[in-house]
Structures are given as structure tokens and as C-alpha cells.
Structure 1
Amino acid sequence: MKLLFVADPLESFKTYKDSTFAMMREAASRGHELWACEAKDLVWQRGGQVSAQARRFTLTGDPHDWFAPEARTGITLAGMDAVLMRSDPPFDSEYFYATHLLEQAEREGARVFNKPAALRDHPEKLAILEFPQFIGPTLVTRHAAEIRAFHAAHQDIILKPLDGMGGMGIFRVGPDGLNLGSIIETLNKHGAQTVMVQRYLPEIAQGDKRILIIDGEPIPHALARIPQGSEIRGNMAVGGKGVAQPLSARDHEIASTIGPILAERGLLLVGLDVIGDCVTEINVTSPTGFQEITQQTGFDVARAFINALERRSA
């Protein structure tokens, strides 16, 4: 198969932990042809199809100079066997526009994973609202008074922007309410931006678990991202320690309920974030954790993903 990865620049990959690289390596081992472009390279013009200046490349096995690219050439997305949208957040206006170009490519015959319309319909913070039975006390609002009332009710809270990634912009406010006013002003910009507020879950000390779901089926191990030192965030991007562990009974309950629903909507790969018994986010743009789980447990996540991709692309 010809696989086009719409991703961040290949030169920026940290191959020792990158999940997109793990996908590429597994696909290459099966003889699939690898192509790459960035979302900014997508083009459409009346009378033609969605196209891109893309690079075909091969893997070298060198951990530093890990890919050997050919010259950029014009390709149509419909001419590929599968297109994998793996651009990292933030989900900004340019990402939004890219999903519309990818959806046009689907109308022209391209097979895109994850499905562009599903990417738009499942913003990673707000997607949890569909599954209230699995989430803790949560508030979504622009209003400072609502946030203050939520804090008064729950005492220990987490505030975060809706467009953050990697733990960016997350604040904890305890019972003393220290700096709550300043944090609200910073996040909601005097009512101009919506904020998510959640009751603080002390189970974060045991890790913020990433549960990967491939075509509706959960991977049997989660990656618990454990905060280090005085940090409240477990995100790997801010120094969290990743520890793979078997799914608990509650993890299975959550994943077996949410997974098939999202798979039916065209989300081939989903990453649930779970603290204790509660889902905190549903990641659909570029879920990670493949390499850490595989290295620690022996379960080959990339193999499971490419198996599913081949089935869906057949």
C-alpha cells in the first residue's frame, strides 16, 4: 500500500518515543510505501483533486539520520491507499481547515484515518461530555462566577484551556482559593474564552493513564504517566514518568463502552486519559504511547494498529 502521513516535519521526530514513527517502521517492515507531507502542503483547485507536494522516503535504521527522502513531488490524496492524519495539536483554525480539505479528499476517493469529520466532532477536552457516567464533576463555562461557585462546592479544582496539549495551561487551585481570580482572568480572558474546570482527582498520584483503543478494541496495557516531584501533571511532555500496567476492570468498562461508539464514527485510533475511575480527555488527533507500552510489555501496539489499518483499507 501507499501510505501518506500528514504529520509534523519528519526532521522534528524524536524517534525513540514517537508513535507515528512506530507506525512507519511497522508499515515499512511489511513492504508498504511511505510518503509524508505537512498539513500546510494540502492544496485544492477547481477542476482537480486535493493534492500535496509530498516526499516518498525510506527508513535507514540510523537513530539520527533515520529517513532517506526523495525529491518532493505532486501527489493526489485519492491516489494513496491510506492517508493518516497525524499532525499534533493544537486544534486551531488551520487544523480545522485541514480537516475540510481531507474531507474533500474523501469525496474524491481517499481513505483518511482518523476520519476528518470525526476529528472535528470530537474536540479532545469536550468529547468527554457525551459520557457523563465516566467523568468526575466537570464544568465548562466562560463565566468567572460559575467557576468560583464550582470551587466553593469542590474546594480542590483543576482549570484548563480547551485547546491545550501536553499539560499546557493547567492550573490547580486548592481550598484556600489562592490566585483563583488571576488564573480565571488568564484562562478565560475576561469572558472571551471558554474554560474547563474539574474536581481535582488525588488518584493522579498513581498516574494519568493513557488507554489506547484501536478500531474499537482496547490495547491490554495502559501507560500510567506519573507526576514527578512537585508537579501535578503527569504528561510526558512535562517530565511525567511512563509506567505500563494492565487495564483494570474499570478501565475495561470504560474502553469497551466508548471504543466501539467512536470506531463506528471513523476513529481508528483513540487515546483515553483516565485518572482513577474517571475519563478526563478523549484524544483523537495524534494519540501516543505506542513505544513505551511495547518496550515495557512486549505487546506490539504498532503491529495491532497496522493490522487494523490494512483491514480498513482493503
Structure 2
Amino acid sequence: MHVLFVIDPLPGLKAWKDSSVAIMRSLAARGHAFSFAGMGDLFVDQGRVRVAATAMRLRGDADWMGHGWWTQDADARDCDLTEFDAVLMRKDPPFDMEYVYATHLFDYAQAQGARVFNAGSAIRNHPEKLAITEFAQYTAPTLVSRDMARLRAFHAQQGDVIVKPLDGMGGSGIFRLQPGEPNLGAILESLTELGTRTIMAQRYIPEIAQGDKRVLIIGGEPVPFALARIPLQGETRGNLAAGGRGVARPLSAHDLELARAVGSRLAGRGLLLIGLDVIGDYITEINVTSPTCFVEITEQTGFDVAGRFVDALQQALGAV
């Protein structure tokens, strides 16, 4: 099997904990080959979706803490996406128009016979914050709007809310608005860009103190452990990028219920890998672009998350 990773530049990856690198290591252990490309390496020529892809190998003396963990076999070559057994979209957001264009190219490539995971249309049709609206029974009170009066009324009704941009990642742009917040107007004006940009407001969930849990769903089945991302003292964000501490825990019965409800509905839509963000009893986001936390869960529990992903990929390809 030969797998193409559409991914961020390799020198910038933190290989010791990067989930995409963990998938590469699992593929290599099974004797599979892989190549890499950036999103900007995708192009259409004479109606065919093609890519400038570079074959790569993991070094036997890999320095996972540095940049010496991979080597390329040759220069990039132009080829059809159909030449690969699977294409993995592992490019991190921001989910801007270039990202949207890439999902369209993946759709065209799939129509030509390529196998893309997660599928382009599935990524595009399930924006990570808005996708929770399909599962309102599992979410805290939520408002999506750019109307300042409506957002102010929601805050007055709920008292303590979280507001965030729809296209942020890693905890960026998230604010907690408590009762009597003196900067309420300024924060809402800034996030909505004076009422021209839609944002999300959610009732604050106090259980964030126990962690913002990442629950992984692979091939429709939940991984039995979640990574609880515990906020720093005085922080409201548990994101690892915002300084949160990751602690792996077995899924609770309620976590399992949430994951099975989401997995059973979404797995058939071209979403091989899903990452739920769960605080307390509530889903706060459904991540479908490049969900992470593989390595942290594996190191703390011994459960081989990357191996589970490769099993599911092989099954999806009929190459068990």
C-alpha cells in the first residue's frame, strides 16, 4: 500500500508527538510506503487532479525530538491522486478558502477513482464548531450569530458564556464572559468584527476544570480512552496548544454514548477519523480536519491508536 499525506511542512512537525507521524510509523512497521505533499502541491491539469508528491522514508536512526526523522528518496514528481492507494488529508487549519478549494479538488479526484480520507465533501460539510448543531441533545445551550443584540441577550440569559470564532483552532480567540463582564461590548465587537463575522456562544461548562476531553472515533468505533486536557491554573482553555496538560482516561459510559451516537451517524459520510471535544456531559466540537492526541493516549495507556487507524484504513480499502 502506498499512502499520500497532504500535510504541513515536515520540518515544522513535532515528530515525537505528532499524530500524522505516528500513522507513518505504523504504516512503515507494516511495510507500507508513503509520500508527502503540501496543500499547494495539488493542481488540475487537463481535467485530472494531480499532485507534486515526494516519496519519503523514516530514518532508522530517527531523532524524533529534532528534524532528523525522515528522508526523501527523490525530488517531487507529478502524478495523479489515483496512483496512491489512499490519500490522507492531514493539513491543519486555518480552514480558509484555500482549504475549501482543496476539498473540492479531493472531490474531483474521488470521482476519478482516488480514495481520500477524510473525504473532501465530508470535511467541507462538517465545519468543526458548527457540526455540533446536528447533535443538539448532547450540547450545552449554544447560539451562532453575528447579531450583537442577540449575543448580548444570550449572555444575559445564560450569565456565564464562552464565545469563540468559528474558524479558530488550538484555543485561539476564545473568551469567557462572566456576569458583569466590563469588556463585553469590546470583546463581541472584536470577535464579530463589528457585526460582520458570525461567531459561536456557549454556556460555560464548569467541568472544564476536570478537562476538555478528546474522544477519538475511528471507522465509526470509539477509541476506549480519551485524552483529558486539563487547563492551566486560572485558564478556561484546556487545549494543549494553550498550555493544557493531557491525561489519558478510560471513556465513561456517557462518553461512550456520545461517541457511538456521533460515530454511527457520521462514519458513513466519508469520515474515517473524528475527534470529539467533550466537556462534562457535552460535545463542544466535532473535529474532522486532522484530529490529534494519538501519541499521548498510546504512551499513557498502551492502546495503539495509530495501529487502530491503519487497521481501519486497510479495512476501508479492502486490503485487510
Report the TM-score when normalising by structure 2.
0.97
Matched with 2:281 is 277
Report the secondary structure of 1:169's partner residue. coil
Alignment of 1:282-297 (within 5 A): 282-297=286-301
Residue 190 of structure 1, CA deviation? 1.3
Residue 22 of structure 1, CA deviation? 0.3
Matched with 1:8 is 8
Residue 161 of structure 1, CA deviation? 0.3
Report the secondary structure of 2:45's partner residue. coil
Counterparts of 2:270 and 2:242 in 1: how far apart (Å)? 31
**Correspondence 1:68 to 2:68:** no
| Deviation readout 1:119-146 (Å, 9 max, x if unpaired) | 0100000000000000001000010101
Matched with 1:220 is 224
Counterparts of 2:16 and 2:24 in 1: how far apart (Å)? 13
Matched with 1:256 is 260
- Bigger drift between 160-169 and 53-62 goes to 53-62
Residue 75 of structure 1, CA deviation? 1.7
Residues 86 and 285, structure 1, Cα contact 8 Å, conserved in 2: yes
Report the secondary structure of 1:68's partner residue. strand
Residue 46 of structure 1, CA deviation? 2.0
Residues 3 and 34, structure 1, Cα contact 8 Å, conserved in 2: yes
- Bigger drift between 53-62 and 79-88 goes to 53-62
**Correspondence 1:234 to 2:238:** yes
- Structure 2 unmatched ranges of 5 or more: none
Residues 82 and 111, structure 1, Cα contact 8 Å, conserved in 2: yes
Counterparts of 1:177 and 1:250 in 2: how far apart (Å)? 33
| Deviation readout 1:273-299 (Å, 9 max, x if unpaired) | 000000000000000000000000000
Residues 267 and 284, structure 1, Cα contact 8 Å, conserved in 2: yes
Residue 34 of structure 1, CA deviation? 0.9
| Deviation readout 1:241-293 (Å, 9 max, x if unpaired) | 00000001110110111112110101000000000000000000000000000
> 2:202 is matched with which residue: 189, 198, 204?
198
Residues 215 and 260, structure 1, Cα contact 8 Å, conserved in 2: no
Counterparts of 1:252 and 1:224 in 2: how far apart (Å)? 15
Instruction: Calculate the aligned-residue CA RMSD, in Å.
Output: 0.7
Residue 177 of structure 1, CA deviation? 2.2
Counterparts of 2:270 and 2:51 in 1: how far apart (Å)? 23
Residues paired across the two proteins, number:
313
Matched with 2:102 is 98
Report the secondary structure of 1:50's partner residue. strand
Residues 208 and 225, structure 1, Cα contact 8 Å, conserved in 2: yes
Counterparts of 2:34 and 2:28 in 1: how far apart (Å)? 7
Runs of 4+ in 1 over 6 A off after TM superposition: none
Matched with 1:78 is 82
Quote the sequence identity (%): 57
AA at the equivalent of 2:286: I
> 1:151 is matched with which residue: 155, 166, 181?
155
Residue 16 of structure 1, CA deviation? 1.1
> 2:193 is matched with which residue: 189, 195, 209?
189
Matched with 2:21 is 21
Residues 227 and 241, structure 1, Cα contact 8 Å, conserved in 2: yes
Matched with 1:171 is 175
Counterparts of 1:90 and 1:212 in 2: how far apart (Å)? 21
Matched with 1:30 is 30
Counterparts of 2:274 and 2:99 in 1: how far apart (Å)? 18
Report the secondary structure of 1:85's partner residue. strand
Matched with 2:117 is 113
Counterparts of 1:235 and 1:165 in 2: how far apart (Å)? 9
Residue 226 of structure 1, CA deviation? 0.4
Report the TM-score when normalising by structure 1.
0.98
Residues 142 and 192, structure 1, Cα contact 8 Å, conserved in 2: yes
AA at the equivalent of 2:147: H
Matched with 2:42 is 42
Counterparts of 2:182 and 2:315 in 1: how far apart (Å)? 53
